[in-house]
Structure 1
């Protein structure tokens, strides 16, 4: 997206939909991104790329991806009930199966699991953005440069870098309230950076704490505000430039998201009306959630006259602890186990991931008609997965002989080696062709241990194995009729790894990777005076061997490959600056994402809409900045988020339910003198009741739907924040 075209504009762009205001080069004013693993103008990237700047994040007081996702075209982020319980889809590549279809990076470090057994699809990284310089969202498969699980696209968190010459301090605080919440929330934040050795060695240190008050009451237990959220993050980074052209970076990052419960309400099947009224849940047991990520990463970059060399290393530990009330799935089924009545059930879910990655690459320095990149990548992942539903009386006492209903351990390892290359050749100053290829080999080992009353016998199956070889490619051309206009055509492929399957009689011991091919044409342009900018693309994606989940009964799901799908659509972002200080922004996406053939194991028919994908989505926003005094300026901003209706499952599936579309209005205002800034913000000003996702609960013995848990978008939230820079 192409709005902010000067360093000043990039810092001040305040409108929620100014997801275009990226890092700007101080001299040329170009928006600089690292989408193709090299720093370059966004206008030169022949693919769909959007940027959400720190100015945008601060203006709307974003604390999670759902706060800004609607302002990025074809980027759908759904919450399962809190920050950290997050599902992402791009360009209609729906969250089908257990593994993610969108890769996530922090700078040069990939985070999250590559396999199907670590909750990658439901627990995407939701980084508290205080120390984030910008988000880069790459739409369409990025398999050539970014590898496994980037078949839908890529979300990249680009962190702030310190100055090696000047010392700086940032600090701030926030107070806010949420409609129907009885307590005040808020947070504190601080960032210190600067030189340790002038011009040679610098550091950055930051800490942020954010508390979002609860607003869901419990009609069954009487508990108030049970869904409060606490987010904490800390970071320490060292940047070393011993000689010109050589940079060494080391970063340590920690973040923890902790919630008391989920932002969900139960709906009656059929009417889809709240069972107990507005903002009332009925969970019989507590539902705490905790996600922690610890990451250490390092990089060495050498800029030569002709060749640049890059080494990037990372080690990440991620843990997820989730407790869900299973009383309306397992508890209601107790009479079918011979018990006299229904009871309570707590479903405990514990995930752990230790991930090491190493990437080495060499690339041309950009001097001449030929640009190239070659590299090698390695990752090793060790993941754990524990699941167990309990059996309790209504008084919360374990039921002898039944509790736990089952207990399962699903440890796995994933090892991948890959080599890749990319080539861009300028035939003329205006016309360029490009292509890339990546070869990857992965090995997986998966073990399965389970006991429980619903199992005919204990399961002990260690060291089930699988391996795959996968090749992805990309290619295309771009034409620049002027220095500020580009037309491009691109074809690219991506994949999601397969792996070992649950050991169930009659089920294949492995499932294979699914893959897709993306075809797109696009135009990126801005006027020389930066008064108008447009970024638009049309795409068609063929998805085959889709990883589907099907049930073996008793709550056990296994993976199969089946069916094909097709997603096609258009996406656009337009910015108009009719006068100095006034920015008008609009985004639009139309996506038709359907099965291309029957999927009987998932109860899907040809032509069924894929789940969680709105046909239409978009945003409109406006911001106006004006000088108030010689030193102070003020800004007013407004943004309208628009999301069409979606389905919770494939159209023909028995548990498919329609999520209505919605429009939500955000407002913000600020005054600043460059050092001190005071902001007012309001999210969902009209207090619209809308749902981000559905979870259809059914009796595990009969299959009958008991209720639908709906995750709601955050009610009206109003706050004030203060920041100071020194």
Structure 2
């Protein structure tokens, strides 16, 4: 009895002393001077300075960026500041050990970023005095912390906070809510759970983003903030991590073939609205889509595989997909390899009644990726990567509208039709296959140099080969009449081959200092070929090869584009709550172009070669004012440009076109409130667009050339936000109003373009609502249900003109639902897209004769994807 009493008193005394020591350790006041940097680095600094072991699972803090600290405080206060809003708590286990663990709220399975490490992998990282504890001790400490978190979670009734996202939109790792610009980040895991795999599906999650489809994955035109996809050169930039992909010149027709990647190896998609000319350069004057991929992790082994099956109403065979990824540390904490692959087969849902082909728009998207991460030194990180993406579509999703009629809206005559052949039926003489092969290789080296400088070298080489065949019977099918033959059929083939080399070298100062700066140089070299050919067939599909009917049209437009640029920005933190940033970019490009055109339509002319060069300076200035840690007001003025260049030598065309440029004014508010459970971001913008590069159609040959047609503006307001009223329930919303109008035409511009009309592909109103609820099913399982609704207003398909024909896409509203069950290691999801099987016909183009433009045979349109019901699963280990 006496011994038991002594043991009890001794235990109580030792516990008391430990608590007192822990309290003393927590209350010691120290000077912390920490920049904004990866959270792991800040924890390491606090641990070293306060003589603490800080224990945590590496996945718990992966990708997080800590705020700057420059003041005297206790270690406990410093940790509280660093972990604020992360869903992570810290606890002193003894006088020298602190354990980090998810809060009860952040344990919601819908918010878990990764599964806990499995046996054999380093379970917990320790920072500070002991570097790394023995695995057994670490796991024991972690388990104790998790037990406490579960016990506290059972008592906690308060709602969970929203997950914070770190982005690299400004080429620095920053919290999304700290970026003084309009940026949306869409998580790759969310896209997979919803069964989304095309860029057109992603648009509902980013206000101001509009995607006009071309009939299959890989055929899409993207618009941001009303900067319409007119002209062949892209107005949107595309990046994979630190390097660009896609053409900057005009003759690779980049505006029609947006980068469309599968989401399985995607960490997040960053959507940057407004011109990005100072950091990203040519072709990003309307905004930027940045695919940020998952990198290899040298600290832990992981693997994942999954699959999907889906069925479309009005469709044929079942669509299915498979995917897998593995991460293998080759040298612990230094070298790792990540490999992934995917293969998705699309089911068809449109019929070609002319050919008797049911569900003809089947297709496949497949590919793979390798990523190698090497950290030979603590200050050097090397990321090597390769992506192989293949898209092959058997036919466009095309519906023929006839019973044509016209109607007048705002004094403009518009053409419309009805799907009399069937709601999902077209009548083309040829299937319209499409394929695109992308090979992309990159190497990024990051050196944490002395004096808190970061040097980054980013290199890439890519090749994109595109083939597209279109039925042009309506355009050229009457050509045989010229030789006293019956009308026939015609097809038109375009073959593109783009090779692109890029190199960027930049150096950046540390974040969180009084003055922050970034400077760099950029180089790109592009070579592209553009082969075009139109053929004519009789009604037995025998090609007519004898002159003068053959060839109808043949063309070759090889070109090169080379650009050198220097850029830089400086941020001055005037006070703790107010800063100002200025940036500038100077770019010089040189282009070479050769035109070889011939055939019945264009005539046979000798080859024409031309060169062009230009120098463009873009700039930006922005400022932000922090009302508090959770609210910020910012203002930004920025310019952007799209390169001009040589023009095709056709009747009425000028020899070359100039760059079109714009200046954007933006005012925005970013706020988080209700203890981190609600988020609301609002921005207003006014963009002045000058010397727009517009494709002008020459009706004599049904061909087009470029002209600097005129000026336009785009003005509007965007908002997005989310709210977690209770733990497990997340509500999301976004909306955009965009008024984008052509205001003035330059002298002698042909084509009869109309001013005062909305630019093509830009809905005036759009928005979406989403809701997801997750709850536990016993100790090991959780369930999730969700729904979403999105609205897209009507939009013009082409730039409206007096010559016509003009078409307009109707407004539509779609609903989606989803449900799932997860154990943390495996997840099963059920999804239904377009749950009401809504009908709408988009991207409408008139089927017009090239010989007699007054003859219009119908309208070819792309239908909304019908209701799709699918089941997917993913397993991680």
TM-score range, shorter chain: over 0.9
Match of 1:266 among 392, 395, 400: 400
Is the Cα–Cα contact under 8 Å of residues 711 and 742 in structure 2 kept in the other structure? Answer: yes
The 2-side partners of 1:362 and 1:107 are apart by 17
**What displacement does 1:266 show?**
1.2
Q: Specify whether residues 10 and 629 from structure 1 end up closer, same or farther in structure 2 by C-alpha distance, changes over 3 A only.
A: closer
Q: Which residue of 2 aligns with 1:374?
A: 519
Q: Which residue of 2 aligns with 1:478?
A: 624
Aligned positions of 1:287-298 closer than 5 A = 287-298=432-443
Q: Specify whether residues 195 and 554 from structure 1 end up closer, same or farther in structure 2 by C-alpha distance, changes over 3 A only.
A: same
Are residues 1:582 and 2:733 paired? no
Is the Cα–Cα contact under 8 Å of residues 48 and 138 in structure 1 kept in the other structure? Answer: yes
Match of 2:301 among 167, 173, 187: 167
Q: Which residue of 1 aligns with 2:574?
A: 427
Q: Deviations over 1:665-705 (max 9, x none)?
A: 11111100110100001111111112341222210011132
Match of 2:744 among 569, 590, 597: 597
Match of 1:628 among 742, 762, 777: 777
Q: Deviations over 1:636-658 (max 9, x none)?
A: 01000100011112234512212
The 2-side partners of 1:273 and 1:6 are apart by 54
Q: Deviations over 1:566-624 (max 9, x none)?
A: 00000001212111111111111000000111365342232111111111000011110
Q: Which residue of 2 aligns with 1:21?
A: none
Is the Cα–Cα contact under 8 Å of residues 133 and 159 in structure 1 kept in the other structure? Answer: yes
Is the Cα–Cα contact under 8 Å of residues 514 and 572 in structure 2 kept in the other structure? Answer: yes
The 2-side partners of 1:718 and 1:172 are apart by 17
Is the Cα–Cα contact under 8 Å of residues 416 and 443 in structure 1 kept in the other structure? Answer: yes
Q: Deviations over 1:17-64 (max 9, x none)?
A: xxxxxxxxxx99632000001111111111100011023212211111
Q: Which residue of 2 aligns with 1:718?
A: 869
Match of 2:458 among 312, 315, 323: 312
Unaligned 5+ segments in structure 1 are 15-26
The 2-side partners of 1:647 and 1:454 are apart by 29
Pick which of 529-538 and 501-510 moved more.
501-510
Unaligned 5+ segments in structure 2 are 1-84, 89-105, 113-160, 406-415
Q: Deviations over 1:222-279 (max 9, x none)?
A: 1111101200020011000011121011101000000000011011232421141110
Pick which of 47-56 and 82-91 moved more.
47-56
Is the Cα–Cα contact under 8 Å of residues 162 and 677 in structure 2 kept in the other structure? Answer: no
The 1-side partners of 2:448 and 2:788 are apart by 42
Is the Cα–Cα contact under 8 Å of residues 396 and 431 in structure 2 kept in the other structure? Answer: no
The 2-side partners of 1:507 and 1:718 are apart by 50
Are residues 1:116 and 2:250 paired? yes
Q: Specify whether residues 441 and 11 from structure 1 end up closer, same or farther in structure 2 by C-alpha distance, changes over 3 A only.
A: farther
Is the Cα–Cα contact under 8 Å of residues 535 and 543 in structure 2 kept in the other structure? Answer: yes
Are residues 1:62 and 2:196 paired? yes
- In proportion to residue count, which structure has more helix? 2
Match of 2:220 among 79, 86, 93: 86
TM-score (norm 1): 0.95
Q: Which residue of 2 aligns with 1:148?
A: 282
Is the Cα–Cα contact under 8 Å of residues 71 and 641 in structure 1 kept in the other structure? Answer: no
**What displacement does 1:90 show?**
0.2
**What displacement does 1:528 show?**
5.8
Q: Specify whether residues 429 and 32 from structure 1 end up closer, same or farther in structure 2 by C-alpha distance, changes over 3 A only.
A: same
Are residues 1:257 and 2:391 paired? yes
Are residues 1:190 and 2:324 paired? yes
Q: Which residue of 2 aligns with 1:558?
A: 705
Which structure has the larger Rg?
A: 2
The 2-side partners of 1:106 and 1:665 are apart by 30
Match of 2:431 among 274, 286, 298: 286
Q: Specify whether residues 573 and 514 from structure 1 end up closer, same or farther in structure 2 by C-alpha distance, changes over 3 A only.
A: same
The 1-side partners of 2:530 and 2:872 are apart by 40
Is the Cα–Cα contact under 8 Å of residues 588 and 619 in structure 1 kept in the other structure? Answer: yes
Give the secondary-structure state (helix, strand or coil) at the position aligned to 2:338: strand
Is the Cα–Cα contact under 8 Å of residues 532 and 577 in structure 1 kept in the other structure? Answer: yes
Q: Specify whether residues 380 and 196 from structure 1 end up closer, same or farther in structure 2 by C-alpha distance, changes over 3 A only.
A: same
Is the Cα–Cα contact under 8 Å of residues 328 and 338 in structure 2 kept in the other structure? Answer: yes
Q: Which residue of 2 aligns with 1:681?
A: 831
TM-score (norm 2): 0.79
User: Considering only aligned residues, what root-mean-square deviation do their CA atoms show, in Å?
Assistant: 1.7
Are residues 1:361 and 2:506 paired? yes
The count of corresponding residues between Structure 1 and Structure 2 is 710
The 2-side partners of 1:664 and 1:284 are apart by 32
The 2-side partners of 1:10 and 1:210 are apart by 30
Task: Considering Cα pairs closer than 8 Å and 6+ residues apart, tell me whether 1 or 2 has the greater RCO.
Answer: 1
Are residues 1:346 and 2:487 paired? no
**What displacement does 1:447 show?**
0.2
Moved over 3 A (4+): 4-11, 27-30
Is the Cα–Cα contact under 8 Å of residues 162 and 724 in structure 2 kept in the other structure? Answer: no
Is the Cα–Cα contact under 8 Å of residues 452 and 458 in structure 1 kept in the other structure? Answer: no
Is the Cα–Cα contact under 8 Å of residues 649 and 655 in structure 1 kept in the other structure? Answer: no
Match of 1:12 among 90, 110, 113: 110
